[in-house]
Chain A
Amino acid sequence: MSEETKKPAGKKKLELDPRLAEYRGIWVFIEHERGTLHTVSWELLGEGRKLADKLGVPLAGVVMGEPGEDTRRFCQEAFYHGADHCYLMEDPLLKDYRNQPFTKGMTDLVNAYKPEILLLGATTLGRDLAGSVATTLKTGLTADCTELNIDVEIRSLLATRPTFGGSLLCTIQTLNYRPQMATVRPRVMAMPKRDTTRSGDITEHKLSMIESDIITKVLEFIPDQNTNKINLEYADIIVSGGKGLKKQENFQLIWELAKVLGAEVGATRPLVQSGWVEAGRQVGQTGKTVRPKLYIAAGISGAIQHRVGMDASDVIVAINNDPNAPIFDFATYGIVGNAMTILPALTEAFRRELANRRAEAVAV
């Protein structure tokens, strides 16, 4: 029996206000900056595909940028990742992200083609743009969502997000306004499979602005140094430390284990605040959301604000000397003991394990 037929009979299908019914289809803003695409866009297309299929409407990507190969390539990639259609706005004024032209461009697109749902990544760019566009469109916007669904009967987006520091979740709807907008946290939606057999068509739209209309100028762009760029969000193995490590010197034990494992290093907020590690390594509500295959947490209590950033990890190993630490409530494996002695032992054990493996490989 399918989901549809199980629904209780007699519940009348609500008629959508005809003014709202004009709005159709789901859009995903394809975010890129300086030639680099933000993968949250693909995660959103994956999720958007599911929603579009439930509603029986097309899924479209919105690509805005300066004319050139990149924008065309991103449209192509959007099709591979699930889009049926792309709206493309090319203009030299869209070279760098600036609020004013992007807000105008996006607002014009929405007013011209009327999507019922518009999704953006909850990145610095996405939140800046979404907050502005929702105001110019006078519609509802739900920030930083971790789950999306549809109430098919009333064609309403169910946007779920953490609230009160992650201790609760809430579901938010925009009932009488269109489009329904949401920004979505990177790394919480699964990445869809790239399917190069897919294709779609492109609608181009002009940005009706000239440079002198735009008040804010970009003087310079200072890229983050690639050498020490932290790749926490996409790491497959992460070793993280917390206040239980007691002294900054002891954090070295985390680095040593990470080195053997080829892992990224993370930390809790108190460590970032006391300057032991860079801010970019903070995992949690006000830091990064990660979903590695293996997350090793040493001296971390597992406060909710930390937990929300990492509990989607496949396997969590927790080392804590307090058997009642909350982290043991959701870790996969727990070792009750002193991190300062367990960590070196763990480093050694992994080193040996990997050496053995390599020896076996050579022997065969």
Chain B
Amino acid sequence: MERYDDTQIIHMLEDAKTRKKAFEEIVKQYSEPLYWKIRRIVLVHEDANDILQNVFIKIWNNIADFRSESKLSTWLFRVAINESIDFVRRNKNQRSNLLGSDDDSLVCKLMADEYFDGDETEALLQEAVSKLPEVQRAVFTMRYYDDMKYSEMSKILKTSEGALKASYHIAANKIADFFRSQD
């Protein structure tokens, strides 16, 4: 099966006749990387699935407005990260199904989640990440799991590289403090 690169997809997006095909390529190629970006921020599969659907609806609705001033992947990641941050903000007080239906800790809930395959230390890391403010959470996960460059992150989040570096270091310190408090 033919695989189109971003330049070809952008070219196809410009023509209304090939726009749907271009969108199909975007869904095929970017569902997985977008999903993992979202999942590491929201932690729960069901939430990540809902957000991913919303992300593609937004992309479809605004696809005709896409200008190739930024990279296709940067635009897609920006939509996904912003949706995830909005979700975390909205659910801060009324936490999602898994995160706060009763008094159990997030670690216990993750360990019982059929879609979590980590050990207790990894569950503790997720709990520490969940305690970070939304943007720090996004910065930390992008840097820690994807090893994303600050320059790329800067384009996605429209924030200076210096601010992002500071944000990551603050997040890492908070996580280290969290682990020390567990000892």
Q: Is B truly associated with A?
A: no
What is the interface of chain A, defined by CB distance below 8 A to chain B?
none
